[in-house]
Amino acid sequence: MSNIHVNTIVNGDEVGFLCDPRETLLDCLRDKLSLTGAKEGCGTGDCGSCSVKLDGRLVCSCLVLGAEAEGKKIETIEGMSRDEKLHPLQEKFIEHAALQCGICTPGILVATKALLEKNPNPSETEVRYWLAGNLCRCTGYDKIIRAVLDTAADLREAK
Amino acid sequence: MQYYTPESFSEASELSKNAEGIIRFLAGGTDVLVQLRADITTPDVLIDIKKIPDVKKIKKNPDGSWCIGAAVCGAELNEHEGIKSDWPGVVEAVDLIGSTQIQGRATLVGNLCNGSPAADSVPALMAAGATATVINSSGSREVSIEKIPHSPGRTTLGKGEVVSAINLPAHKPNSGDAYLRLIPRTEMDIAVVGCGINLTLEGDKISEARVSLGAVTPTVILVDAAAKAIIGKQLDEQTLEALAEAARKACNPISDRRGTIEYRTHIAGVLAKRAAKIAYERARS
């Protein structure tokens, strides 16, 4: 079968790309749209480093076909900061040193942003369960959890 | 690989009937895409059902029963207060599957049709007395969930057949359901044993019950003997022991690195007792 033409909205911009039906959304984002923030850790939906939002739902982009993105809205890590200004979560991750090698960080940031939009006041347990599908082999998770809880507290105060 | 997005289930059924080679339906893709990427199964024909109207709908019928579209994901079920209140065991079972990311895609129909003996939602659906709406070229029919699994990774569905929805019966007064599974860690694992129970009370005696087990036989099974062990009884220690005994007798598991035959068999009884207590409390409240 010939390539499929896909029209989609990525971080608010209308984009189009051609893909083989077997190509994943992750491959399309990285190789066709040059959005290399989402990473491939496992490619089987276990590690969460390819996390993006698809029509408002947090998903692993390695388990979505590029062709499925037709007509959908996609949010990636590249859309998180605005005009060079980091998102509060990104700032807190730096402040708390909640990353080391950084491979898992885009996925974790996208996932935690989705959590705080749904639940502005999560407990530590809720943060840990929400992030159970985001693996990090460097940090031991504690700094990540603290950065998320600290951001949530700041955002609540700012409201 | 050919990729199709039919606009109706009859079209999807027609496409799969006439296709050659390996055919897969795509809903959430959390099994199909894993198998594709791991080079376990590369379909020749992939039929994405998500462009079909109503596949994302959770509908309550006038008689109180529920119809859950084939592409409704776990997170959507978990956010639905109505279905959670009527069938908490089913929703809890779905919620145990995978991570937040997987919950954003994985579906009940996919869990059923993947045919895993360790599928978490299938024992809960069986206990609930749910059915699947199966569409083929001659029309549609409702099939009990227990008739769908055939063997590990296989269903009884034939070529050209596709499941369009899961139907849950109306919640009866004084009834409750529960699902429990055992995994060696707290999240992100596959059931070593799963047990679903749905029961109805008359006074403090159980008048109706359905008990199911996962991961201890080649398919998820309904255990009639376990249901019989508690019907007509109060849920006292003696009844719970009889239930555990019947559940263990139904086990025919494998030994692997996550659990031995002896361990899985023992745990089946433990989970049956615990799930029965939860279902009993839900039925009373």
Measured between CA atoms, the residue of chain A closest to residue B46 is A21
Contact A22/B102, CB-based, under 8 Å? no
**Nearest CB neighbour to A129, from listed B30, B104, B187:** B187
- The crossing angle, in degrees rounded to 10, of helices A88-95 and A105-118 is 130
CB neighbourhood size of B76 (10 A): 20
B33 min Cα distance to partner chain A (Å): 6
Per-position DSSP letters for B252-275, written without gaps between them: ----BTTB-HHHHHHHHHHHHHHH
Distance between CA A95 and CA B40 in Å, rounded? 43
pLDDT band at B156 (very low <50, low <70, confident <90, very high): very high
Same domain? A41 vs A98: no
Same domain? A75 vs A27: yes
* Cβ-based contacts of B42 with chain A (< 8 Å): 22
Predicted local distance difference test score (pLDDT) of residue A1:
57
Q: Going edge to edge, which strands form the sheet with A4-10?
A: A13-19, A4-10, A73-75, A51-54, A57-60
Contact A57/B42, CB-based, under 8 Å? no
Q: Which of A55, A79, A103 is the last residue of a domain?
A: A79
CATH number of the domain at A127, please.
1.10.150.120
Domain span holding position A74? 4-79
Q: What residue ranges define each of the domains in chain B, with the CATH number in brackets?
A: 175-284 (3.30.390.50)
**Segment B133-153, tens digit of pLDDT:** 999 999 999 999 999 999 999
Phi-psi region of A141 (alpha: psi -120 to 50; beta: other; left: phi over 0): left
Interface test mutation site (partner A, options B101, B103, B105, B186, max chain A beta carbons within 10 A): B101
Contact A44/B38, CB-based, under 8 Å? yes
Averaged pLDDT for residues B46-68: 98
Residue B71, φ and ψ in degrees, nearest 5: -110, 10
Look at the block and give the residue holding tokens 């749209």: A33
pLDDT band at B18 (very low <50, low <70, confident <90, very high): very high
**Segment A81-99, tens digit of pLDDT:** 988 899 999 999 999 999 9
Same domain? A72 vs A52: yes
Tell me the percentage of chain B whose pLDDT exceeds 90: 96
Provide the residue type at B103 as one letter.
Answer: Q
Same domain? A8 vs A37: yes
Same domain? A72 vs A99: no
Number of H helices, E strands in chain A: 5, 5
Q: Which of A79, A98, A127 is the last residue of a domain?
A: A79
Mean of the per-residue pLDDT values for chain B? 97
Averaged pLDDT for residues B244-258: 96
Averaged pLDDT for residues A3-27: 97
B186 against B272, higher pLDDT: B272
Whether B41 contacts chain A with CB within 8 A: no
Number of domains comprising chain A: 2
pTM of the model: 0.97
Q: Which of A79, A96, A114 is the last residue of a domain?
A: A79
Distance between CA B175 and CA B178 in Å, rounded? 11
Residue A13, φ and ψ in degrees, nearest 5: -105, 135
B102 min Cα distance to partner chain A (Å): 6
CATH number of the domain at A32, please.
3.10.20.30
**Segment A105-140, tens digit of pLDDT:** 999 999 999 999 999 999 999 999 999 999 999 999
pLDDT band at B187 (very low <50, low <70, confident <90, very high): confident
Averaged pLDDT for residues B40-69: 97
Structural contact between residues B178 and B89, judged by C-beta atoms closer than 8 angstroms: yes
Predicted local distance difference test score (pLDDT) of residue B186:
84
Predicted local distance difference test score (pLDDT) of residue B188:
87
Same domain? A92 vs A153: yes
Contact B2/A48, CB-based, under 8 Å? no
The ipTM of this complex is 0.97
Beta strands in chain A (DSSP E): 4-10, 13-19, 51-54, 57-60, 73-75
Predicted local distance difference test score (pLDDT) of residue A83:
87
Contact A132/B37, CB-based, under 8 Å? no
